[in-house]
Amino acid sequence: MRATLTYWKYELIRTLRDRRFFLLTLGMPVIFYFVFINQQGGALRIAGTFWSHYFMVSMASFGVVGSSINTLGVRLAAERQSGWVRYLRTTPLSSFGYAIAKILTQLTLSLLIILCIFLVAHFSQNVSLSGGEWLTITLWLWIGSLPFAALGVFIGLTGNAAQPLGTLMYLVASMLGGLWTPIQALPSVMQTIAKWTPTYHYAHPAWRILAGQSIQASDILVLLGWTLLFLIGSVALQRRIDTKVQM
């Protein structure tokens, strides 16, 4: 426990010094928010709410997905390749403790990103919700980010492919899931595709809360399905790596 908490603390220190994290992972959604709100006007009505509210959720989701893939996934791959993870295994920090520390780090960063985007939206576009709505949306986006942590782990196991694969997944999943352009504005084929993406089902419940609706079980089910898939994929990759080492 001591070792896990220590590692968590230093992971956060390292992230706060990471310019890439601020410029890309946090910076991109913030900039997109300003650009797209200005294009359309925040007062536009969409899916039972305003564009400024709707797109706030989109960008918070985009940021969380980005940090799961880039910060968690790509960093994990680098730490494995440099022999650092192997070295840590000689210390009292167990593999399990290391995984917990990584997840705690990811949850902390996700919360930070969500709150940042909400603050930006609140102060720049006067987005205001009831206390209960702020809380449920925050909690949903926070807890709902776990499937992407699993995706991050999967990407972290792909070695050299992590960086290109991560960037590709990050952009494609965000675009197809309707985080950039709402799926209502897309052709019906794209809408059908979107309904299979984890990103859509991650943002969808938060959009519904904005419109005064409740979270649907179908969103949770699809996300659980994806989580399972990412976990199975991770285990399979780990197995392959293990047998490769045995060869």
Partner 1 sequence: MSTVIEMENVSKVFGKKRAVHSMSFAMERGHSVALLGPNGAGKTTSIAMMLGLTKPTSGRVCLFSGDPKSATSHERIGVMLQEVSVPPRLSVRETIDMFRGFYPKPLPTDRLLQVSGLTEDQKTMAQKLSGGKMRRLQFALALAGDPDVLFLDEPTVGMDVASRRTFWDEVRSFLRAGKTLMLTTHDLQEADMLADRIVVMQNGAVIADAPPESIKMQFGGRTVSFVAGPDIDFERLRMLPDVTDVQTVGRQVTVRTQNSDALLKTLILEAWDIRDIQVHGGGLEDAFVRLTAEGGESQ
Site of interaction with partner 1 (CB under 8 A) = 2-3, 5-7, 9-10, 13-14, 17-18, 79, 82-84, 86-87, 89-94, 97, 245-247
With residues binned 3-state (H G I as helix, E B as strand, rest as coil), the percentages for the chain, rounded to 5, are 80, 0, 20
Could you tell me the smallest distance in angstroms from the CB atom of residue 5 to partner 1? Answer: 8
Task: Pick between residue 1 and residue 189 the one whose CB is nearest to partner 1.
Answer: 1
Angle between helix axes 51-66 and 198-210 (nearest 10 degrees) is: 150
Token duo for residue 149: 């942590």
Give the shortest CB-151-to-partner 1 separation in angstroms: 22
Q: Least distance (Å) from partner 1 to the CB of residue 207?
A: 36
Task: Sort 178 into a burial class: Cβ within 10 Å, 0-12 / 13-18 / 19+.
Answer: buried
User: What's the rounded Cα separation, in Å, for the pair 119 and 122?
Assistant: 5
The residue behind tokens 């969808």 is 204
Give the CB-side neighbour count of residue 100, counting CA atoms within 13 A: 11
Token readout for 238 is 């780990």
Measured from the CB atom, the residue of 13 and 228 that comes closer to partner 1 is 13
Task: Compare residues 79 and 133 and give the one whose CB is closer to partner 1.
Answer: 79
Closest CA to 194 of 173, 219, 217: 173
CB of 55 to partner 1, least distance (A): 32
| Minimum CB distance to partner 1 smaller for 94 or for 128 | 94
Closer to partner 1 by Cβ: residue 82 or 181? 82
In angstroms, give the least distance from the CB of 1 to partner 1: 11
